[in-house]
Structure 1
């Protein structure tokens, strides 16, 4: 059994320290914290390891795609509600704009997932 030097030892009954809400929400919506920067690798071996890590982590991208599709539908629904029911043109434009922004996020996630899963290593 080895002791990890990076993690302080805790008694077994203590719960893990809680993550701040801001970081939790960021990690819930954005996936960049899962991936390593391939361009920051110093040599070919580190670059290959970072690329392989990113390919393994790409399996979580459909989860983020599902979250962003929910946000897109929610924003679009609020836009329709504000336009048709409340007759609030400016507020509906706000929600329709956010639905376009979240749809763009969905496109980015889809392209990243396709590239990481279906691109061949050269």
Structure 2
């Protein structure tokens, strides 16, 4: 069979974005660093200013991440109470109470980042 008779593969559509894997999607659902640009990686003053403006515009999504992390903190805390009081599995309750502390710490980081970005004045 010659190459003339082979069915040609359709070229990919340039407007169609590649689909994310479940791990990438979960990462983007929980963590927000992919939204922001590194201001220190800018080569000159104009790029730095553009990156800073971009980061300030993207800060409007930080309350969404704060809500997600607060749901995680409440869920971990409730599971900690459940395993401590109902099941009396102290090791599992300690595990979930520890994760609730970690998520509350993440909420503090998100809140501070949002306050600095949303209410900062451009020089």
**Partner of 1:121 in structure 2?**
122
Q: Structure 2 unaligned runs (5+)?
A: 1-10
Looking at structure 2, the residues matched to 64 and 100 of structure 1 have their Cα atoms a distance apart, in angstroms, of 17
Q: Which entry has the higher C-alpha Rg, 1 or 2?
A: 2
The alpha carbon displacement at 1:19 in A equals: 1.1
Question: TM-score scaled by structure 2?
Answer: 0.86
**Partner of 1:72 in structure 2?**
73
**Partner of 1:103 in structure 2?**
104
Q: CA offsets per residue over residues 67-90 of structure 1, 9 Å max, x none? A: 000000000000000000011111
Q: How large is the Cα RMSD of the aligned pairs? A: 1.7
The alpha carbon displacement at 1:116 in A equals: 0.2
Total equivalences in the alignment: 113
Q: Does 1:10 align with 2:17?
A: no
Q: Structure 1 unaligned runs (5+)?
A: 1-7
The alpha carbon displacement at 1:16 in A equals: 4.7
Question: TM-score scaled by structure 1?
Answer: 0.87
SS at match of 2:121: coil
Deviating beyond 6 angstroms after TM superposition, the runs of 4 or more aligned structure 1 residues are none
SS at match of 2:61: helix
Looking at structure 1, the residues matched to 92 and 29 of structure 2 have their Cα atoms a distance apart, in angstroms, of 26
